[in-house]
Each structure stands twice: as structure tokens, then as C-alpha cells.
């Protein structure tokens, strides 16, 4: 769907630039990406907070639209980066949610070996916040390394480094992803 004030073939950058004079032009960006931002937030922190995160993401995007990199045609990486920043406030909720997913997926009862998906979610929950953020932007946000770098405003080498560290934090046992020894998961300790 597109905004009546913008043609359907208008890029996000063009809509954002137009919104500087005509705020309603930002509607095109909202309509193109609201479902993606909401789905990304819902997978990370749940339905209860996803709506608030989505609203705050677009409010922040609108307020900071003058700073949007006009060389980028798509606003998706920028918006998911803003959403990731908003969700940093909810990192404990995200970690608990991932652990709960893992627990409920292991439906064979206590003491039974976890399924591959259960083990992967548990391992993901144990990653330091900044590593988990890069992994989720790549896996659930479907962003390329370059788009993740733009979303988080970090060099692409930092994205590669965080993904490599995340991969090293995981191991495979009997074909399933397993966490290595527990990692400290506080925002202050997860700068890498």
C-alpha cells in the first residue's frame, strides 16, 4: 500500500526527503515498513511490548528523519536499527522470552534431551546482548551485514566480529546447537 501523497515507486529516501516539507509524505515509509518492524519486535520481546516498540520506533524515526542517509533507498535497516535501540531497554524481557520459548518447545518433559530448536533458542538467550542483536537482525530482520552495520551505526567489521563471536559461543553436539559455558548478559558487558 502507498500513501496518496507519494507515488508507489517513490523510494523511502525520496519519501523521507519530501516529508521534511510535507510531514504526511512520511506515511509511505510507515506503511511500507510497519509490519516488518512490528514482526521483528514481536519475535524479540513479545506481542505485549511489540506495539509500543513499533510506535516508538516510528516516532523516533519521524523526529530524526533529517539525519536519514539520503544515499540509502530503503529505510528498513535504519528503522530496524532504531527498533533495536528501543528494545535495548527490554533486553531482560527478550532473554526471558527466548528462554521461555526454548522451555516450551521441549515438550517431551523434564530430563528428556532438548530438541535442536530448543537448544538453539536457549543458546541464543545466553549470548551477550550486542551479539544477540546482530544475530537477530541477520536471522529475523533479514538484513545483510552492510544493512546491519547501517542499522546499528557500527563498522561492517564490527558486525562480522560480533557474528563470529556469537558463532564461537555456540557449539554443536549431536547435531543440535548448544551453548558453551554461560556468558554474562548485561548491556554494560556486551560491547563487542
Give tens-digit pLDDT for 85-143: 898 877 767 677 777 766 666 555 556 666 666 677 777 777 888 898 898 899 888 89
Report which of residues 109 and 159 the model is more confident about. 159
Taking residues 40-65, what's their average pLDDT? 92
* 55 confidence band (pLDDT: 50, 70, 90): very high
Per the structure block, which three cell numbers stand in for 101? 520459548
Integer Cα distance of 140 and 147 in angstroms? 13
Q: Residue 16's closest CA among 1, 37, 32?
A: 32
User: In whole angstroms, what is the distance from residue 79 CA to residue 140 CA?
Assistant: 14
Q: Is the pLDDT of residue 27 over 80?
A: yes
Q: How many helices (H) and strands (E) does the chain have?
A: 9, 2
Rounded to whole angstroms, the Cα distance separating 41 from 50 reads 5
Q: Which residue has the cell 535501540?
A: 85
Question: In angstroms, rounded to a whole number, what is the distance separating the alpha carbons of residues 112 and 116?
Answer: 12
Q: What percent of the chain has pLDDT over 70?
A: 72
Farthest CA pair distance, the chain: 62
Provide the β-strand partners of residue 132.
none
Residue spans of the domains in the chain: they are 12-189
| pLDDT score, position 173 | 43
- Return the higher-pLDDT residue of 153 and 25: 25
Counting residues of the chain whose pLDDT is more than 90, the rounded percentage is 45
Model confidence at 67: pLDDT above 90: yes
Comparing 64 with 140, the larger pLDDT belongs to: 64
Is the pLDDT score of 75 beyond 90?
A: yes
The grid cell for 17 is: 526527503
Nearest to 190 by CA among 137, 136, 133: 133
**Does 153 score more than 70 pLDDT?**
yes
Q: What is residue 107's predicted lDDT score, i.e. its pLDDT?
A: 55
149 near 155, Cβ under 8 Å?
Answer: yes
Taking the C-alpha atoms of residue 161 and residue 167, their distance in angstroms, rounded to an integer, is: 10
Give the mean pLDDT of the chain.
80
Amino acid at each position: 500500500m502507498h500513501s496518496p501523497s507519494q507515488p508507489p515507486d517513490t523510494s523511502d529516501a525520496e519519501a523521507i526527503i519530501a516529508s521534511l516539507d510535507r510531514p504526511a509524505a512520511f506515511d509511505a515509509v510507515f506503511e511500507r515498513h510497519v509490519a516488518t518492524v512490528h514482526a521483528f519486535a514481536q519475535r524479540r520481546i513479545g506481542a505485549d511490548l511489540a506495539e509500543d516498540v513499533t510506535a516508538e520506533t516510528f516516532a523516533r524515526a519521524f523526529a530524526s528523519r533529517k539525519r536519514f542517509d539520503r544515499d540509502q533507498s530503503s529505510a528498513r535497516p535504519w528503522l530496524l536499527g532504531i527498533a533495536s535501540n528501543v528494545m535495548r531497554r527490554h533486553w531482560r524481557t527478550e532473554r526471558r522470552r527466548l528462554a521461555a520459548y526454548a522451555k516450551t518447545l521441549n515438550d517431551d518433559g523434564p530430563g528428556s534431551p532438548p530438541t535442536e530448536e530448543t537448544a538453539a533458542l536457549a543458546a541464543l538467550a545466553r549470548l551477550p546482548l550486542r551479539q544477540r542483536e546482530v544475530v537477530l537482525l541477520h536471522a529475523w530482520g533479514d538484513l545483510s551485514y552492510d544493512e546491519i552495520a547501517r542499522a546499528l551505526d557500527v563498522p561492517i567489521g564490527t558486525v562480522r566480529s560480533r557474528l563470529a563471536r556469537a558463532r564461537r559461543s555456540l557449539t554443536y553436539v549431536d547435531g543440535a546447537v548448544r551453548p558453551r559455558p554461560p556468558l554474562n548478559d548485561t548491556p554494560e558487558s556486551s560491547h563487542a
